[in-house]
Amino acid sequence: MGPDNLSWDEIPDRPDNVFPLHSEPPAWMDEASEAWRRDQEAMTAVARVPLPLQFFEDIEEVLTGLWLMKHLLPAVGMAVIHGHPGSGKTFLALDWSLHIALGWDWQGRKVQQGLVVYLCAEGQRGLKNRVAAFRRHHKITECPFALIPIAIDMQAQDADVNRLIEAVRAAEAHYGQNAVMVVIDTLAKTFGGGKENTDDMVGYVANCQRVSAEFECLTTIVHHRPKDAESEDPRGHSSLRGGVETVVLVEAGETKKARVTKQKDGEDGIELLFKLKVVELGQDEDGEPVTSCIVEPTDVDLAPRGDSMGSKLAKLSDKQRVVLNALDETAERLGFYPPTDIPEREINRLKVGKVVKFEDWRERHAQTSGHGSDMKPDSVYKEFRRGLDRLKKDGIVTVYGPYAWRTWEDREPVRTTSDNRTDNNKFQPRTDRTNGVPPTGETPALSEPLSGSGPAASSDWKSNPLLNPDAASLEPPAWLDDRPPFDPDDWPDGPDWSTDA
């Protein structure tokens, strides 16, 4: 009805371009209306699906399958490897990918073997040559690894996500294996028309998380570091760092360094060193060599700048050298691989060969012929203490809890290399390392003296009152009666010492 209760047709002087309201949408809105209807039906269907609900008494611990690469890459979620141009970030990402695909340990770190799909959105020719260099150097012919050599859009809503998912499924069908990692190299070339420094990053992260959820795998993004050399965060909006489980920063140099700056469910601060080794692939049409590179571990010291380790060792007094020699002798006879309860921030497992129990080292020093025959036990202890202080100050020796080791080994570190590869291109599991426990038959009973005469320290530190304050009520061995208690500063982060022990 119109004004004064008049019908539409009764309104006087009605303009010709004014039309009555319709209860049904005009014809031109049919398509939009149909799309709206489908969206409403889809949302209603989703709303009908109940959320998973787990009650307290039904929640169980998750103990296995946590890591794709032990203590470095999680099995499920997202990771970012970033660095400046030329830092080696793509070399590292590719090397990790191929080791995971082959089931090879990476510098002693166990991996979960499975299919890896690598999306290379830039520098496709160079990456193909890097794969060829790896294949030639390691003499392999088969590997469950698939390359997508094209740029796609992972930022816009549903842009190319479905295409990527279908490609991964096709690779799974080809190899008959589940995908354990999808690599996207780089973020910049897969960001479509979005802007990295805005909340456009939220959509990109959501799309990558969708890939991870689809295959219950790790999605790893290769990205650039900001031009600001001080920043250790990936370039762009903070939602990228906030939305991933792991962030690895790669720094350039003749010896390149990768450092974990974020580890959501593990320990950050882990540092890894590597170099690039040139591999010749063949010759081009002009007869000139075509080369690429592979990643190789390196043994460069991470010791603080200043005096070299050699000069520090040369400056040790005779008594300090006796203390160090006692450590070396203990490591040779009773040493074992670093156990898992020594945090990564305390030890460079690539560099350190073996660790010893602190009391075995102290006992060996007490037995050494470097003391006078009439030297009292407390004098021997003070001599050990002074030598220990100097060795720790110079960074030659590290003590953590009940363990001690040479911080910078002169000997070749123990690590997994391609030498233990079999004919089927699979690395054999290491049989000489069992979570830090010395292999059976290699280590003599710890109650046995190392050499010469003299008593031996207790092998069980948990029952030793000098090492475990909970055992302070136990009587110490008779041969320790004359020894003063240890100062707490001698063992950073270790157990408290009892003055009654």
Looking at residue 308, its pLDDT comes to 61
Looking at residue 488, its pLDDT comes to 46
More confidently predicted of 421 and 347:
347
> Among 27-31, 120-124, 252-256, 427-431, where is mean pLDDT lowest?
427-431
Looking at residue 19, its pLDDT comes to 56
More confidently predicted of 99 and 460:
99
Which whole number is the average pLDDT over 201-228? Answer: 95
- Give yes or no for residue 23 having a pLDDT over 90: no
pLDDT range class, residue 361, cuts 50, 70, 90:
very high
pLDDT range class, residue 495, cuts 50, 70, 90:
very low
Rg of the chain over all Cα atoms, to the nearest angstrom = 32
More confidently predicted of 125 and 484:
125
pLDDT range class, residue 407, cuts 50, 70, 90:
confident
- Nearest CA among 144, 95, 138 for reference residue 419: 138
The answer to whether 331 and 364 are in contact (CB under 8 A) is no
> Among 13-22, 330-339, 397-406, 491-500, where is mean pLDDT lowest?
491-500
> Among 161-165, 217-221, 379-383, where is mean pLDDT lowest?
379-383
- Give yes or no for residue 9 having a pLDDT over 70: no
Which whole number is the average pLDDT over 383-404? Answer: 89
Looking at residue 239, its pLDDT comes to 95
How far is CA 215 from each of CA 53, 119, 219, rounded to the nearest angstrom?
22, 16, 10
CA distance 71 to 268: 9
Question: Is 402 strand, coil or helix?
Answer: coil
Which whole number is the average pLDDT over 357-374? Answer: 80
- Give yes or no for residue 119 having a pLDDT over 70: yes
- Give yes or no for residue 426 having a pLDDT over 90: no
- Give yes or no for residue 215 having a pLDDT over 70: yes
Which positions ≥6 away from 220 have C-beta within 8 Å?
73, 78, 79, 80, 81, 93, 96, 181, 182, 183, 184
Looking at residue 50, its pLDDT comes to 84
Which whole number is the average pLDDT over 308-321? Answer: 79
- CATH code assigned to 67-297: 3.40.50.300
More confidently predicted of 467 and 210:
210
Q: Which long-range contacts (CB under 8 A, 24 or more apart) does 271-276 make?
A: 271/302, 271/348, 272/107, 272/350, 273/297, 273/298, 273/299, 273/300, 273/302, 273/350, 274/88, 274/92, 274/95, 274/298, 276/88, 276/91
Q: Is the dihedral of CA 411, 415, 418, 419 positive or negative?
A: positive
- pLDDT (tens digit per residue) in 66-99: 999 999 999 999 999 999 999 999 999 999 999 9
Domain extent listing, the chain: 67-297, 309-490
> Among 49-53, 234-238, 407-411, where is mean pLDDT lowest?
407-411
Looking at residue 460, its pLDDT comes to 45
Looking at residue 284, its pLDDT comes to 94
Which whole number is the average pLDDT over 180-184? Answer: 99
Looking at residue 472, its pLDDT comes to 43
Quote the pTM value.
0.56
More confidently predicted of 469 and 23:
23
Q: Which of 7-16, 455-464, 485-494 has the highest mean pLDDT?
A: 7-16
- Percentage, residues of the chain above pLDDT 90: 48
- Nearest CA among 232, 158, 148, 143 for reference residue 183: 148
